[in-house]
Chains A and B, each alone.
Chain A
Amino acid sequence: MSDPAASPGARRRAVRPPMVIAGLMAILAGGILASLALGAVSIPPSSVIGILLEHAGVPNGIDFTTQQDAVMWGIRLPRILLGGLVGAGLGVAGASYQAIFRNPLADPQLIGVSSGAALGSALTILLLGGAMGALAGPLGGLAGGLAAGALVYTLARHGGRTEVVTLILAGIAIAAVGTAGAGFISLVADEPRLKSELFWVLGSLTFSTWRLVWFTFPFVVAASIILPIYGGAMNVSLLGDSEARSLGIDVERFRIAVLALATMAVGAAVAAAGVIGFVGLLVPHAIRRVAGPDNRLVVPGSAIGGAALVILVDLAARTVASPTEIPVGLLTAVLGGPVFLWLVGKTRREHGGWG
């Protein structure tokens, strides 16, 4: 797909959907295997397979040490799975927000939902962590994210359209309040994850545990399975409220369902790994570049692609400056910031910008 404004006759040769999904799955599988093998303790690919088979109950003669087993099964695998879940949640939510706000710039972090979720999650862990246990994080994230999403939605939608300036401004305000609140909590809390202010601003998978994986899993997987079902309706809704209603979509109900599901995924992702930015912007956009804007493909593709991106970026985050670990959100921002700027410029050329 070339820049439509530069060449008015632009045509797109879309890559076929099964190829796109297969390609994304291949990247995801490669990312998982590389992440299992690489790190402070290096584990050869054969031992990776040996350890996996061993835990699957398949006896095998492949050599590995107990240290390799402990590192891979106890530390790396939960971290990879959690990274994958977080990326899938952010990716699928970004694609869905872009559809319901009818704007390619909507991203969980930019519109303030991530920060709302961070504040909700931190507050709930702090105040109700004792009573609710490990569910406090995801549920608090969900509540905070939903509150932020509802606020942004109410503020930025006017006459059936989303005002981009209002959307971004509301996002800035909510992010400021959310980050400040989470920062304050980091001062008064005892739990290491809560204490890390950086965690709430740039995100981290350092605190990954199997427990966190299991508590994140249902929210993200539910959103990643249900949201793609709305792909066709998302396409139609991009035409406008009037057009969508005329084509038989109950627009308000549709939008609230998608907003709630996407925000549920963001809430769980943020509760588990803090605020990792730009995943929801980068991944859907990359898929659209390759395969076109059909949300029946972009939405599920963004779940797989988001998982792959966060796993790969986290691999870089813990290996490139080893033994220092770079916050994962710092790397996604380095990738995402320029893409965002480019998108802003492109939209400005094509639609005359935003007054």
Chain B
Amino acid sequence: MSPPLLEARRVGYRIGDAVLVDGVDLEVRSGEILGIVGPNGAGKSTLVRMLAGETAPSEGQVLLDGEPIGGYRPHDLAVRRALLPQSTVLQFAFRVLDVVMMGRYPHREATPADDAISVETAMERGDIGHLRERLYPTLSGGEQARVSFARVLAQETPILLLDEPSASLDVRHQELVMAVLRTLTGSGAAVAAVLHDLNLAARHADRVAVMSGGRIVEVGLTAEVLRSDLLSEVYRHPVAVVPHPHLDCPLVLPLRS
């Protein structure tokens, strides 16, 4: 097992009396995709923002390579981890190419040639090469999501934290995004992604953390965690889990209540 790159220790987050995240222990490891699933309001986004050092936890701490993440300077964080938020609104008419290029902002020493290669690779991986001259505000939601994904890839960090990278994507692009993440973990990247689609997690995650009410109810290998009893209880809705007829993974089937 590779050492954890990012580690949450007894992490909690509260606003007034509301506890959004409560006593979470979690490791994000090099070479694997960690899927974070759970019902609405479970605290998934808040957890991801704390893992990214974007929000400071009210309890516990997040360690990046063994050091408290709050001690890193913004630029040092930016070359180590990238965060993809749920959606990005841009009121100014930047081209797609310009937006992806913004992902290169932390790499001040990079030559224009380095930047060009990263941006081209990122655009190809996000399948947005044909949109390069289009203006970002004119794109559809799914296209904007792919541009943001490409921007995060252009940042070229060893850790990727993604809040619903696939939410507004069609089937082909959902699979494409997960395949890109798999390629990156193959070369040592660590990926944690909030996933709404349980079957996307079932097909692509190495490990899954199930969150509910601010806590991690269970975390472990995907096939061991995605069980009918656990999911039915957490989602408060009957869910069946059967072996996938064509792939070597579970298939999650919500039933009628």
Kindly list chain B residues whose C-beta atoms are within 8 Å of the C-beta of A236: 102, 105
Contact B92 A293 (CB under 8 A): yes
Smallest Cβ-Cβ distance to B87: which chain A residue: A240
Kindly list chain A residues whose C-beta atoms are within 8 Å of the C-beta of B52: 246
CA distance A235 to B82 in the complex (A): 17
Contact A242 B98 (CB under 8 A): no
- Interface footprint category on B: 20 to 34
Cβ of A249 under 8 Å from chain B:
yes
Contact B74 A245 (CB under 8 A): yes
A102 contact from B54, B91, B106, B138, Cβ within 8 A: B91
B95 CB to nearest A CB, Å: 7
Cβ of B113 under 8 Å from chain A:
no
Kindly list chain B residues whose C-beta atoms are within 8 Å of the C-beta of A232: 105
Contact A351 B74 (CB under 8 A): no
Kindly list chain B residues whose C-beta atoms are within 8 Å of the C-beta of A12: 93, 95, 133, 135
With A242-B49, A247-B106: A10-B138 Cβ-Cβ less than 8 Å: yes
Cβ of A195 under 8 Å from chain B:
no
A247 contact from B91, B103, B133, Cβ within 8 A: B103
Contact B54 A248 (CB under 8 A): no
CA distance A11 to B135 in the complex (A): 6
With A246-B83, A247-B106: A238-B91 Cβ-Cβ less than 8 Å: yes
Contact B102 A235 (CB under 8 A): yes
Smallest Cβ-Cβ distance to A347: which chain B residue: B91
CA distance A236 to B88 in the complex (A): 12
Cβ of B85 under 8 Å from chain A:
yes
Contact A351 B54 (CB under 8 A): no
CA distance A4 to B92 in the complex (A): 11
* Residue interface mask B96-127, A partner, CB < 8 A = 1: 00110011011000000000000000000000
Kindly list chain B residues whose C-beta atoms are within 8 Å of the C-beta of A240: 85, 88-89
CA distance A9 to B95 in the complex (A): 12
Cβ of A294 under 8 Å from chain B:
yes
Contact B138 A288 (CB under 8 A): no
With A8-B138, A11-B135, A350-B137: A247-B88 Cβ-Cβ less than 8 Å: no
* Residue interface mask A223-267, B partner, CB < 8 A = 1: 000000000110110111011011111100000000000000000
Kindly list chain A residues whose C-beta atoms are within 8 Å of the C-beta of B76: 248
Contact B92 A238 (CB under 8 A): yes
Cβ of B134 under 8 Å from chain A:
yes
CA distance A351 to B92 in the complex (A): 11
Q: Please give 18 more A-B residue pairs, beta carbons under 8 A apart, in addition to A232-B105, A245-B74, A293-B94.
A: A1-B135, A4-B93, A4-B137, A11-B134, A12-B93, A12-B135, A103-B91, A239-B99, A245-B83, A246-B81, A246-B83, A246-B155, A247-B105, A248-B76, A249-B74, A292-B93, A293-B92, A351-B91
Q: Can you sample 27 A-B contacts with CB below 8 Å? A: A1-B135, A4-B137, A4-B138, A8-B138, A12-B93, A12-B135, A232-B105, A233-B105, A235-B102, A236-B105, A238-B92, A239-B88, A240-B88, A242-B49, A242-B83, A245-B74, A246-B83, A247-B78, A247-B106, A248-B76, A248-B77, A248-B106, A249-B74, A249-B105, A292-B94, A293-B94, A294-B94
